[in-house]
Structure 1
């Protein structure tokens, strides 16, 4: 290998810890041409995962490509290739400890928000990536934080990067999750999660609710917030939140919430209202 190519190799490898991924576009941006990529693979400095995607090899004995950990994939997107993407919605709530049940078999969905490369859906990962647009907040980065959980390469049990995952805070995560509710089936799982959200920060919530562009999300949030009555609810000023005008249809066959004017399952109508109907 020529001296010039050797000079490019070490800085490139220094930027890619073992277990993390890069793609052809990123490698070419580092001055690595197609012939050099082929040579790096032949010499064992890179492993081909799928077409145009490569991994820095893990230590001997931990080199299975059958199921890349979703953490290593996301860290590679965020910190190596600089994609503007974060873990959000119910996945962010799960990471923060607000999962209401453990998944039973199958491939768990991992909810990502932002821009991702087209090859992501082709990766042999241990999870199924579900990608959403960032379109409900005026400030696309409001409420996104660095997770303080130590990130490891799943079953590979190898620490792969000293930096945290970029994830939605629980306050943003629950609003993103509410945006995905489209019918009756989405209410019960979120109700269980909402029950555990006792430590949300009112100032963060107010900032996010003010920036939120979705009337549906704002109305649904207060339906759940009033239903559970956590201590932080009294610190939210609903009068400063725009709820739009007119009723909103969401649940077919549901009932119109008397305060927030959105159709929800019967169980989500305030008890006093339900009792009044029953006595009529």
Structure 2
């Protein structure tokens, strides 16, 4: 390898954090041609993890390093959400969380690339492409060991849990999570609720917030939030709540948690 090539690879590696994925298409825009990338792999600087993606040889890269690349290099808004985001934010330490799954959300038109789906991250990725919330609100930047990524803030993360309920997330667990969120900012919640298109999520969120008796709930302007019309049967054999017109688990409505 030429001296110029070695200088370029040293510059690349020294200017970027360890533990991340490098996208081939992004590297091209940074002046690293496909031919040069091939030489770097041949010289064992990089190791391919699938078409269009590489990691630094010898590094143990987690799924967070893939999220970093998707956000910072590809400009996507795919992010850890739901319980995974709450765990990363330190909001769900009292719940038994599966260490074998990571919940990810992205916009309606966003997809996980094949290399991300097929690579063994040591954890299963549960990806949900949805538009019930705008992709660009309710996200917060968190610092990991060597880099930062965007994840759902606590309010958005809980709404994502409710979006998955009751099929992939129990409502009782959602309520346990809600109980721990006593210091949310009303203005951020208001923005999310006004921009949320899921009637189910909005009704459940407000129902649980009121039931948990959080002080911030009193500052939510529920009258300007579109809660739709008609009844919503969320679960079978539940109890009907007249205020929010939803059928919820008996244990939840009766406080038998």
- Is TM more than 0.5 here? yes
Q: Partners of 1:47 and 1:4 in 2: how far apart?
A: 21
Return closer, same or farther for 1:181/1:238 CA change in 2, 3 Å cut-off: same
Structure 1 partner of 2:144: 151
- State whether structure 2 residue 127 is matched by structure 1 residue 131: yes
RMSD of Structure 2 on Structure 1 (CA): 2.7
Q: Would the aligned equivalents of 1:87 and 1:167 in 2 still touch at CA under 8 Å?
A: yes
Once the two structures are TM-superposed, the CA of residue 125 in structure 1 deviates from its matched residue by 0.7
Structure 1 partner of 2:76: 83
Q: Would the aligned equivalents of 2:161 and 2:169 in 1 still touch at CA under 8 Å?
A: no
Q: Would the aligned equivalents of 1:194 and 1:228 in 2 still touch at CA under 8 Å?
A: yes
Which structure 2 segments of 5+ residues have no match?
A: none
Between the two proteins, the alignment pairs up a number of residues equal to 252
The match for 1:103 among 79, 97, 106 is 97
Return closer, same or farther for 1:269/1:17 CA change in 2, 3 Å cut-off: closer
Once the two structures are TM-superposed, the CA of residue 72 in structure 1 deviates from its matched residue by 2.0
Once the two structures are TM-superposed, the CA of residue 93 in structure 1 deviates from its matched residue by 1.3
Structure 2 partner of 1:167: 151
Structure 1 partner of 2:56: 56
Return closer, same or farther for 1:230/1:250 CA change in 2, 3 Å cut-off: same
Q: Which sits farther off after the overlay, 1-10 or 109-118? A: 1-10
Whose strand proportion is higher, 1 or 2?
A: 2
Structure 2 partner of 1:155: none
1:27-69 Cα shifts (integer Å, max 9, x gaps): 3444444432221012222122334321124xxxxx355xx32
Structure with bigger gyration radius: 1
Q: Would the aligned equivalents of 1:183 and 1:252 in 2 still touch at CA under 8 Å?
A: no
Once the two structures are TM-superposed, the CA of residue 257 in structure 1 deviates from its matched residue by 1.4
The match for 2:228 among 244, 255, 262 is 244
Return closer, same or farther for 1:257/1:141 CA change in 2, 3 Å cut-off: same
Once the two structures are TM-superposed, the CA of residue 165 in structure 1 deviates from its matched residue by 1.6
Structure 2 partner of 1:36: 36
Return closer, same or farther for 1:31/1:169 CA change in 2, 3 Å cut-off: same
Q: Which sits farther off after the overlay, 211-220 or 168-177? A: 168-177
Which structure 1 segments of 5+ residues have no match?
A: 58-62, 153-159, 272-280
Q: Would the aligned equivalents of 2:199 and 2:227 in 1 still touch at CA under 8 Å?
A: yes
Q: Would the aligned equivalents of 1:202 and 1:233 in 2 still touch at CA under 8 Å?
A: yes
- State whether structure 2 residue 126 is matched by structure 1 residue 142: no
Structure 1 partner of 2:26: 26
Taking structure 2 as the reference length, the TM-score comes to 0.85
